[in-house]
Amino acid sequence: MLDSLIVNNYALIDKLTVEFTKGLNVLTGETGAGKSILIGALGLLLGSKADTSMIRSGYEETLVSCTLVLKKNSEISSWLNGHGIKIEDNVLIIRRTVKRNGRGSVFIQSVPVTRAELSELAGYLFDIHGQHEHQSLLNLENHRKLLDRYGGTENLASDFNNIFKQLSQKKESFKRLVNDEKERKREIDILKYSVDEIKRAALTAGEEEELEEEYKILSNFEKLFGLLEDVYGNLSESRGGALSYMRNARNSLDQIVRIDTKLAGLVQELENTFYAVEEIGEEIRKYRSGIQYSPERMAVAEERLSAIRSLEAKYGSSTREIIEYCSKCEADLERLSNWEDERRKLEAEIKNLEREILAKAEVLSKKRRAAADALQAKVENELKNLGMSKVRFRVTVEEKKGESGKPVIGSLGKDHIEFVIAPNQGEPFKKLKNIASGGELSRVMLAIKSILSSSDSIDTLIFDEIDAGIGGQIAVTVGEKLKRLSSEKQVICITHLATIAVQADNHIIVEKHEEKGRTLTTVRNIENDRRVEEIARMLSGDADAEVSLRHARELLSKYDRI
């Protein structure tokens, strides 16, 4: 649900905040006051392309942001999780800036996203009707979704799509397998060469590190041996090293303790230290005696390291990676060598999936055709109640055709689904995108949304121009349908008709005035006497006429709005 909208420096808007509520929200005001400007600003948050000419004169950028309160919705949650976006207390904040140089930024919470990503998310949040740029009814894929939602075939379509993906993957695997026999043989030769080369090297994991350590010792043998001699000599007791001095110190400490026992504890500590140093000296002696210089062994280690590094340049950055690569090559060799078996297996799997898809496509199509008959009758009836008395509405379900004209099966079945309409008597059916009137298209969507309101996951519906060309009882009916729809959805409606506006839960007035020599659009939520005046203006054009004021109060009282 849209909770609030903030707009800065957009067209005639300086700074404003619009507060929305649950239920039916209407925006009213004089023609030219800026109602469509407000919808245009909201469109930026739906991912529409920015028009830098809409940045308010004298400013370098425009800022639009909104706060939404989300219901539980698996599609929205999945999208947000997939983009690393977290929400707190079910509140989502979207912010977009557009600079005069054409650049800008989009943030959802504090995470930067692209305009395309914003548009994708907005598709789960809003449905705008009246401006062709955002009318979901112009997207044929939405016709299929609406029919499946109405007919309860969404799960069937989803299952079909999963099987179709499996078939596509199998066909791709088969194509790769048989596409180029020469390429397969060439790959086998390369794999065999790699495996043979690695196997001949007889590598072991960690071997390189051991060889590097050995080569380091052998190449620095003279220096290492001298240092060992130096260490051992400085520790040795027989050579006047540390141990002989420590023995003398221990004898002197024994004599001190005979005089003053307070230092008795140091005797044992010195004794322990003596043995520790003695043990270090013994380890140094053993290590020195054990190492030997071997030019031959150094040459072997150097040659082995050179061979390993040559393999690393081709197959991996360590002996462990080279061994793993060899295992992968052997697995690929086995797969390619068993090509015929794999081909026969894939062919059988593809045939089975094709039979399953044909059967499921037929079942899905039959259910869709049955649902189409019922849906088109309901929509046509709804449209007649909405002032389109001569309308004929059809949900066409036809076989998809390929370029050759032959039937084809796609990822969601074999059906081409499209809503078509003949608004007036004697006219042929037309595609919805060819309907000139935004009001007619909005009423088609209102009819569909009224029928599907309980199963549609989009929470906020925005209707612009829905009252175009209607009045009287039809306008009352449109208002009542919007009101009923708002019991399950948040509905935002721009209207010029008082009979629609009086049914609103939240009435927002858009006004234009001059301030310091500049024209400004302002917005405020109205109620009580100010709402009565606005309804009176909508009824007669005169907000102060007593007859209009009385009529306005009567209408508002009728719908318990005063």
406 occurs within a structural domain: no
Average pLDDT of the segment spanning 43-51: 88
562 and 491 share one domain: no
User: Amino acid letter at 559?
Assistant: Y
Poorest-pLDDT segment among 157-166, 284-293, 349-358, 390-399: 284-293
- Whether 240 and 286 map to the same domain: the answer is yes
Q: Residue 562 gets which letter from DSSP?
A: -
In a domain, 439, yes or no: no
Residue 174 in any domain: the answer is no
Percent residues over pLDDT 70 in the chain: 95
Q: What is the pLDDT of residue 134?
A: 43
Tell me if 48 is assigned to some domain.
yes
In angstroms, the CA 287 to CA 387 distance is 103
pLDDT value at position 360?
A: 94
Alpha-helical (H) ranges within 260-338 are 264-290, 295-315, 319-337
In percent, the amount of the chain with pLDDT more than 90 equals: 29
In total, how many domains does the chain have? Answer: 3
73, 11: one domain: yes
Confidence of residue 133 (pLDDT cuts 50, 70, 90): very low
pTM check: above 0.85: no
Asked whether residue 500 is domain-assigned, the answer is yes
Is 503 in the same domain as 562? no
User: Mean pLDDT highest for which of 335-344, 369-378, 543-552?
Assistant: 369-378
558 and 487 assigned to the same domain: no
- The residue from 317, 334, 364 where one domain ends is 317
Q: What is the mean pLDDT of residues 437-459?
A: 74
Residues 384 and 440: beta-carbon distance below 8 Å = no
Question: Are residue 89 and residue 212 in the same domain, yes or no?
Answer: no
> Is position 229 within any domain?
yes
Could you tell me if residue 153 is inside a domain?
no
User: Is 239 a residue whose pLDDT tops 70?
Assistant: no
Residues 489 and 551 in one domain: no
Higher pLDDT, 378 or 335: 378
pLDDT of residue 276: 87
Q: Does 125 lie in the same domain as 3? A: yes
Pairwise CA distance, residues 458 & 460, whole Å: 6
The pLDDT confidence band at residue 132, using thresholds 50, 70 and 90, is: very low
Mean pLDDT of 46-68: 90
At which of 296, 317, 338 does a domain end?
A: 317
Task: Confirm if 393 and 381 have CB atoms less than 8 A apart.
Answer: no
- What's the pLDDT score for residue 114? 92
Contacts (Cβ under 8 Å, ≥6 apart) of 508: 18, 20, 25, 26, 27, 28, 523, 524, 525, 526
Termini Cα distance of the chain: 25
Of the ranges 178-192, 260-274, 391-405, which one carries the lowest mean pLDDT score? 178-192
Do 531 and 480 fall into the same domain? no
Mean of pLDDT values over 319-323 = 86
The CATH number assigned to the domain holding 34 equals 3.40.50.300
Residue 541 located in a structural domain: yes
Q: Are 105 and 1 part of one and the same domain?
A: yes
Q: Which residues contact 263 (CB under 8 A, 6 or more apart)?
A: 253, 256, 257
Same domain membership, residue 561 and residue 486: no
Strongest mean pLDDT among 83-97, 130-144, 333-347: 83-97
Task: Encode pLDDT of 195-211 as tens digits.
Answer: 898 888 888 877 777 77
Tokens of 160: 């079909």
- Rounded mean pLDDT, 5-25: 93
**Domain hosting residue 123, numbered range:** 1-130+465-524
What type of residue is 263? L
Q: Is the pLDDT assigned to residue 137 strictly greater than 80?
A: no
The larger pLDDT score, comparing residue 26 to residue 315, is at 26
* Whether the predicted pLDDT of 178 surpasses 60: yes
Are the C-beta atoms of residues 188 and 303 closer than 8 Å to each other? no
More confident of the two residues 258 and 180 = 258
Confidence of residue 258 (pLDDT cuts 50, 70, 90): confident
Answer yes or no: do 255 and 302 share one domain: yes
Domain finish residue from 317, 336, 364? 317
pLDDT of residue 85: 92
What is the distance between the alpha carbons of residues 360 and 343, in angstroms, rounded to a whole number? 26
